[in-house]
Amino acid sequence: MNPLSAIVTASDIQMDYMRLLVAQLQNQNPLEPLDNNEMASQLAQFSQLQQLETINHSFARVLTNASRTYAASLLGKDVSFLAETQTGAIETQNGKVEQVYNDVDGEIFLMVGDRAIRLEDVLSVKQ
């Protein structure tokens, strides 16, 4: 199952709400109509949720671009990182960043010698 297909957006929820609202209006008791203030309040909440989703999406793009820019700035610099040795021990290693790339999931990797390390695994940077 595609994990993205399970994501429900504010627009999806709002469309479901509108369908439900239309059904309620079509089947309401004329002597007990729906409360207009409640409907307006719920629609305003959906609008706020959509705005928050838009801000979140924009912020994620900005963060991704900042990470890519930072990774590119590391080209040619010496970095230290934790890596597993041939014996299975974890130790700090050093090397020069020779290449920066993204994998298919968009995760940023740095090529340091023959090792591909994740950007977040960098411990320190030297000129």
Q: What is residue 6's predicted lDDT score, i.e. its pLDDT?
A: 63
Give the least confident one: 26-30, 74-78, 105-109. Answer: 26-30
Helix (H) or strand (E) holding 101: strand 90-102
What's the CATH class of domain 75-126?
mainly beta
pLDDT tens, 21-44? 788 778 877 777 777 788 788 778
Q: At residue 81, does pLDDT exceed 80?
A: yes
User: For residue 104, what are its two tokens?
Assistant: 């298919």
Sequence letter at residue 35: D
**Domain residue extents for the chain:** 3-70, 75-126
| CB-neighbour burial class of residue 114 (10 A; exposed 0-12, middle 13-18, buried 19+) | exposed
The percent of residues above 90 in pLDDT, for the chain, comes to 47
- Model confidence at 5, in pLDDT bands (50, 70, 90)? low
